[in-house]
Protein backbone atom coordinates (compact mmCIF):
# COMPACT_ATOMS: atom_id res chain seq x y z
CA UNK A 1 0.00 0.00 0.00
CA UNK A 2 1.18 3.51 -0.75
CA UNK A 3 2.23 5.67 2.14
CA UNK A 4 1.39 9.33 2.60
CA UNK A 5 2.16 11.18 -0.61
CA UNK A 6 2.86 14.89 -0.88
CA UNK A 7 3.33 17.15 -3.86
CA UNK A 8 5.30 18.96 -4.99
CA UNK A 9 8.55 17.82 -3.33
CA UNK A 10 10.22 21.19 -3.80
CA UNK A 11 8.88 24.64 -4.48
CA UNK A 12 10.45 28.06 -4.92
CA UNK A 13 8.29 31.16 -4.54
CA UNK A 14 8.83 34.86 -4.07
CA UNK A 15 7.52 37.04 -1.27
CA UNK A 16 3.85 37.92 -1.59
CA UNK A 17 2.97 34.93 -3.72
CA UNK A 18 0.52 32.19 -2.79
CA UNK A 19 1.22 28.47 -2.62
CA UNK A 20 -0.86 25.28 -2.44
CA UNK A 21 0.56 22.06 -1.09
CA UNK A 22 -1.16 18.72 -1.55
CA UNK A 23 -1.37 15.55 0.50
CA UNK A 24 -2.91 12.12 -0.03
CA UNK A 25 -3.26 10.03 3.14
CA UNK A 26 -2.73 6.31 3.51
CA UNK A 27 -5.73 4.43 2.17
CA UNK A 28 -8.36 4.11 4.92
CA UNK A 29 -6.97 6.97 7.01
CA UNK A 30 -9.49 9.73 7.65
CA UNK A 31 -7.34 12.17 9.58
CA UNK A 32 -4.76 14.49 8.04
CA UNK A 33 -2.47 16.84 9.93
CA UNK A 34 -0.10 19.49 8.63
CA UNK A 35 3.20 20.44 10.29
CA UNK A 36 5.84 23.05 9.55
CA UNK A 37 9.46 22.20 10.25
CA UNK A 38 12.04 24.93 10.24
CA UNK A 39 15.66 23.82 9.90
CA UNK A 40 17.04 22.59 13.20
CA UNK A 41 13.70 22.44 14.99
CA UNK A 42 10.96 19.90 15.61
CA UNK A 43 7.75 19.95 13.55
CA UNK A 44 5.18 22.55 14.60
CA UNK A 45 1.48 21.75 14.32
CA UNK A 46 -0.53 23.81 11.82
CA UNK A 47 -3.87 22.03 11.24
CA UNK A 48 -5.67 18.77 11.77
CA UNK A 49 -8.68 17.59 9.76
CA UNK A 50 -10.81 14.56 10.50
CA UNK A 51 -13.72 13.50 8.34
CA UNK A 52 -13.42 16.81 6.45
CA UNK A 53 -13.83 18.92 9.59
CA UNK A 54 -11.14 21.06 11.18
CA UNK A 55 -10.24 19.50 14.52
CA UNK A 56 -7.40 21.72 15.58
CA UNK A 57 -5.37 24.71 14.58
CA UNK A 58 -1.91 25.69 15.72
CA UNK A 59 -0.51 29.12 16.39
CA UNK A 60 -0.23 30.25 12.77
CA UNK A 61 -1.61 33.41 11.11
CA UNK A 62 -4.75 33.49 9.00
CA UNK A 63 -2.57 33.44 5.89
CA UNK A 64 -2.48 29.69 6.46
CA UNK A 65 -5.60 27.73 5.54
CA UNK A 66 -6.41 24.13 4.72
CA UNK A 67 -9.18 21.86 3.66
CA UNK A 68 -9.93 18.16 3.35
CA UNK A 69 -11.78 16.66 0.43
CA UNK A 70 -14.35 13.82 0.34
CA UNK A 71 -11.58 11.36 -0.61
CA UNK A 72 -9.68 12.52 2.54
CA UNK A 73 -6.87 14.18 0.59
CA UNK A 74 -5.95 17.62 1.80
CA UNK A 75 -4.53 20.94 0.65
CA UNK A 76 -2.60 23.51 2.62
CA UNK A 77 -2.69 27.07 1.29
CA UNK A 78 -0.41 29.88 2.32
CA UNK A 79 -1.10 33.41 1.10
CA UNK A 80 1.14 36.47 1.01
CA UNK A 81 4.29 34.44 1.52
CA UNK A 82 7.01 35.76 3.81
CA UNK A 83 10.67 34.81 3.91
CA UNK A 84 9.99 33.16 7.27
CA UNK A 85 7.58 30.72 5.66
CA UNK A 86 10.55 28.90 4.15
CA UNK A 87 10.42 25.45 5.72
CA UNK A 88 9.69 21.77 5.22
CA UNK A 89 5.93 21.23 5.24
CA UNK A 90 4.94 17.80 6.42
CA UNK A 91 1.64 16.03 6.08
CA UNK A 92 0.70 13.16 8.37
CA UNK A 93 -2.24 10.80 8.26
CA UNK A 94 -3.72 8.63 10.96
CA UNK A 95 -6.45 6.05 11.20
CA UNK A 96 -7.95 7.60 14.32
CA UNK A 97 -7.79 10.89 16.12
CA UNK A 98 -7.21 11.80 19.71
CA UNK A 99 -5.49 9.53 22.16
CA UNK A 100 -5.20 6.65 19.68
CA UNK A 101 -3.74 8.81 16.95
CA UNK A 102 -0.59 7.28 15.46
CA UNK A 103 0.97 9.51 12.83
CA UNK A 104 2.49 8.44 9.52
CA UNK A 105 4.32 11.18 7.66
CA UNK A 106 4.89 11.94 4.02
CA UNK A 107 8.27 13.01 2.66
CA UNK A 108 7.32 16.66 2.83
CA UNK A 109 7.37 19.69 0.57
CA UNK A 110 10.45 21.88 0.85
CA UNK A 111 9.27 25.47 0.35
CA UNK A 112 11.78 28.21 -0.30
CA UNK A 113 10.59 31.82 -0.31
CA UNK A 114 12.95 34.30 -1.97
Partner 1 sequence: GIQVEQSPPDLILQEGANSTLRCNFSDSVNNLQWFHQNPWGQLINLFYIPSGTKQNGRLSATTVATERYSLLYISSSQTTDSGVYFCAARTTGFQKLVFGTGTRLLVSP
Dist CA 23 CA 54 (whole Å): 15
Helices and strands in the chain: count of H runs, count of E runs: 0, 11
Of residues 11 and 103, the one with the C-beta less far from partner 1: 103
Closest contact distance (angstroms) between CB of 16 and partner 1 is 26
Shorter beta-carbon distance to partner 1: residue 71 or 98? 98
Contacts with partner 1 by CB under 8 A lie at: 33, 35, 41-45, 48, 55-56, 58, 88, 90, 92, 98-105, 107-108, 110
Q: How far is CA 78 from CA 7, 29, 66, 72, 104, in A?
A: 15, 24, 9, 20, 23
Based on CB atoms, which residue is closest to partner 1, 72 or 89?
A: 89
Amino acid sequence: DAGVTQSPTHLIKTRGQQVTLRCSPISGHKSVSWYQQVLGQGPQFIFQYYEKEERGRGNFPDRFSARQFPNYSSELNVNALLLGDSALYLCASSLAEGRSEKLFFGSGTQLSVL
